[in-house]
């Protein structure tokens, strides 16, 4: 008697929330695989708003991350701008100091 072969079960975790998804479940539409081979849960009843759409949540969170990064970069840019001004101020002070020092030396020399 031939042994009945077990149908292998492929399980993957949702790339967003980590829920286990059986990827060879026949006719299952409770997940979606992107062209980046990422898998996300998607529970959707036709004609209704998706109950769960991790792809949507994932891309939204990714966008937020990108915005956050942009904001951070802009903040860094501003910080750099400030420190540049700060540096110029210090250099200017130093120049003034050198100028005064020279004046003092000249005065000292003149008084000798
Ligand atoms: Zn999920």
- The alpha carbon of 40 and the centre of ligand 1 are apart by a number of angstroms equal to 5
List, for residues 37-95, the tens digit of each pLDDT value. 999 999 888 888 888 999 999 999 888 888 889 999 999 999 999 899 999 999 999 99
- The alpha carbon of 2 and the centre of ligand 1 are apart by a number of angstroms equal to 39
- Please indicate, yes or no, if residue 21 is contained in any of the structural domains: yes
- Please indicate, yes or no, if residue 86 is contained in any of the structural domains: yes
pTM of the shown model = 0.52
> Does the CA dihedral 24-30-35-38 come out positive or negative?
negative
* Dihedral angle, C-alpha 62, 65, 71, 74, nearest 10 °: -90
- Please indicate, yes or no, if residue 4 is contained in any of the structural domains: no
Residues 6+ away with beta carbon under 8 Å from 44: 29, 50, 51, 53
- The alpha carbon of 90 and the centre of ligand 1 are apart by a number of angstroms equal to 54
- Please indicate, yes or no, if residue 61 is contained in any of the structural domains: yes
How many folded domains does the chain comprise? Answer: 1
Residue closest to 52 by CA, chosen among 26, 22, 18: 18
- The alpha carbon of 6 and the centre of ligand 1 are apart by a number of angstroms equal to 27
Which residues face 42 on adjacent strands?
53
């Amino acid at each position: 008697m031939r042994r009945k072969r077990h149908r292998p079960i492929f399980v993957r975790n949702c790339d967003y929330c980590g829920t286990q998804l059986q990827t060879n479940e026949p006719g299952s539409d409770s997940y979606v695989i992107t062209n980046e081979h990422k898998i996300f849960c998607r529970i959707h009843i036709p004609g209704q708003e998706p109950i769960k759409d991790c792809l949507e949540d994932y891309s939204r969170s990714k966008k937020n991350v990108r915005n956050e990064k942009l904001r951070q970069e802009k903040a860094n840019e501003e910080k750099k701008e400030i420190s540049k001004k700060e540096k110029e101020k210090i250099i200017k002070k130093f120049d003034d100091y050198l100028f005064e020092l020279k004046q003092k030396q000249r005065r000292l020399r003149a008084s000798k």
